[in-house]
Amino acid sequence: MIAKRHLLSISIAALLSSQIIHAETLFDVYQLAVNNDPELKAAEATYRANIETEKLSRAALLPQITAQAYYQDSETESQSKSITSNNLGQTSVIDQHASTDSETENYSVSLNQALFDLPAWFSFKAGKKVSEQAEAQLAYEQQQLIVRTAEAYFNVLRGRENLDASKAEERAAKRQLEQTQQRFDVGLIAITDVHEARAVFDSTVAQRYSFEGTLAIARENLSSLTGQEHNNLWSLKKDFPITMPEPSSRAEWVDFALENNKLLQVSNAGASSAYQTAQAKKMEHLPKIAGSFSYTKNDLDGTTIYNPSSTFALPPDSYSETDALRITLTMPLFSGGGTSASRRQAYEQYNAANYNAQTTQRQVITNTRAQHIAVYTDVQTVNARHQNIISTRSALDATEAGYDVGTRNIVDVLNAQRSFYAATRDYTNARYDYVIDVLKLKLNAGTLSPADIIALNKWLQLPEPVTLNGSKTNKAAKS
């Protein structure tokens, strides 16, 4: 029996060690998200597609060279009437049949070059802005992935800690119910106290189910980024620093945002591209000058057989080489109003893009200020929530002592318990709100990078192994 217990202990220890070994950090999950997140993959594909716009628009300014060659083997049968004369000077009309067999080789090379084409030039400049827009959009999506990964990761930790607190509250409520039942059984209290305790216990059970569902959903959301399940994540250290943002000046953060915010760069590049496109449409009224050079070689060899034969029959052979240099001026005179309509349309599209850029700038300013306020509020909230845990713990101890001597009733004890565990969950939520809000502030400022993931990763620790009864192996010290 002792040997079996020893083997069971070894098995449990191995299981707990396996849990720790396979625990994943925030950086581990982020790397998986970079390689597997479909949103980022779609953004990368869109980026690669959009940067080709610059090359496509530049093509109209570069030489266009084409070459052509063909070989032709033909046989021709013909019949015609011809006049012939004999030695006596007599003429007659005869039917003559001709059979021609010929081979033709043709080679040509042509080069076309735009010499003066302002629409093509401004379209090229618009294409460059599209490339800038694509780069900024991809950078924004990469920063968004950092926020989405961190938010999904810490929401799992949030759900896990809230569930732990809920289970602890359920155990406390169960103990309180058992103690109340015992007191009722010996006639020390009324049945109403038992009903009160049972109502609270039932409420904690329902609450635990809710937190279990919330945690399961959080894990699903994290899995949607990586395509894998994550059941053993590293935890945020208790001494993770909650500090005011640096720099502390809200105006400096707004300046950072106006300079570096990726969405604002996307909007500004879009407006610039629309302006260049409008210029290109405007220039469609102007003439275009193009130059071209072509070289053609044509070689035909063949034989013709006449029946009856003819003294004057010649073979169909021919050979030619042609060099041609051409300058072409094209002047649009009237296109049914299409050119003017296209110009007006492009101008209004530029106006819309410009106004959208202004809207984005105002939103960036507002969001940066709001996020800065949120971080400041989070710092104060975390400190207040931590103090609230201390206060509610003291209040619970005092209420339980008063209940033991008869100065407080069961309702007071149950309310004190509820306040303490609610304070614990509020503190947990406040800490994770702070972490996410700091990342979102950096996202708005345009300074967010994988280095922030690495910095956060240093404040994670291995999760505490869980025993068979569901509690942690190392009990956390009371706050």
Q: How do beta strands 235-236 and 460-461 pair?
A: antiparallel
Mean pLDDT by 10-residue block, N- to C-terminus, for the chain (479 residues)? Answer: 43 44 85 96 97 94 93 77 63 68 87 94 96 97 98 97 95 92 89 93 95 97 94 94 93 96 97 96 94 91 67 70 93 91 95 97 98 97 97 95 89 93 96 98 96 97 65 43
Q: Residue 382 and residue 385: Cα distance in Å, rounded?
A: 5
259: nearest Cα among 444, 432, 454, 460: 444
At residue 333, φ and ψ (nearest 5 deg) are -105, -50
375 in any annotated domain = yes
Query: What is the total residue count of the chain?
Result: 479
Q: Residue 154 and residue 164: Cα distance in Å, rounded?
A: 15
427 in any annotated domain = yes
Regarding whether 392 and 445 lie in a shared domain, the answer is yes
Is the separation of the CB atoms in 445 and 372 below 8 Å? no
456: nearest Cα among 479, 432, 472: 432
Give Rg (Cα) of the chain.
42
478 in any annotated domain = no
45 in any annotated domain = yes
Regarding whether 139 and 242 lie in a shared domain, the answer is yes
Regarding whether 312 and 197 lie in a shared domain, the answer is no
Regarding whether 177 and 149 lie in a shared domain, the answer is yes
161: nearest Cα among 221, 248, 234, 89: 234
How large is the angle between the packed helices 191-226 and 118-185, nearest 10 degrees?
150
DSSP state string for 305-338:
EEES--TT-----EEEEEEEEEEEEE-----TTH
Task: Name the 3-class secondary structure at 186.
Answer: coil
Regarding whether 349 and 303 lie in a shared domain, the answer is no
At residue 15, the pLDDT reads: 43
At residue 129, the pLDDT reads: 96
Regarding whether 422 and 303 lie in a shared domain, the answer is no
Q: How many CB atoms lie within 10 A of CB 181?
A: 15
180 in any annotated domain = yes
377 in any annotated domain = yes
466 in any annotated domain = no
Regarding whether 342 and 326 lie in a shared domain, the answer is no
Long-range contacts formed by 188-197: CB under 8 A, 24+ apart? 189/410, 193/409, 193/410, 196/410, 196/411, 196/414, 197/173, 197/410, 197/414
Is the separation of the CB atoms in 435 and 154 below 8 Å? yes
Regarding whether 216 and 321 lie in a shared domain, the answer is no
Q: How many CB atoms lie within 10 A of CB 87?
A: 5
Q: Please name the residues in contact with 62: beta carbons below 8 A apart, sequence gap of 6 or more.
A: 113
Regarding whether 442 and 294 lie in a shared domain, the answer is no
Count the domains in the chain: 2
Q: What is the pTM of this model?
A: 0.83
Is the separation of the CB atoms in 100 and 142 below 8 Å? no
Range of the domain at 101: 67-76+97-116+289-330
Tokens 């209940």 correspond to 403
Regarding whether 380 and 258 lie in a shared domain, the answer is yes
Regarding whether 264 and 152 lie in a shared domain, the answer is yes
Question: Can you read off the two tokens belonging to residue 129?
Answer: 């802005």
Q: What is the dihedral of CA 394, 396, 400, 406, to 10 degrees?
A: 90
Q: Please name the residues in contact with 438: beta carbons below 8 A apart, sequence gap of 6 or more.
A: 245, 375
Check whether the bond before 247 is cis (ω within 30° of 0): yes
Query: Helix, strand, coil proportions of the chain in percent (round to 5)?
Result: 65, 20, 20
DSSP state string for 201-265:
HHHHHHHHHHHHHHHHHHHHHHHHHHSS----BPEEPTT------SS--HHHHHHHHHHH-HHHH
CA distances from 369 to 164, 222, 249, 363, 449 (A): 35, 29, 10, 10, 20
Regarding whether 239 and 133 lie in a shared domain, the answer is yes
- Give me the CATH number covering residue 429: 1.20.1600.10
At residue 73, the pLDDT reads: 80
Q: Residue 261 and residue 130: Cα distance in Å, rounded?
A: 17
203 in any annotated domain = yes
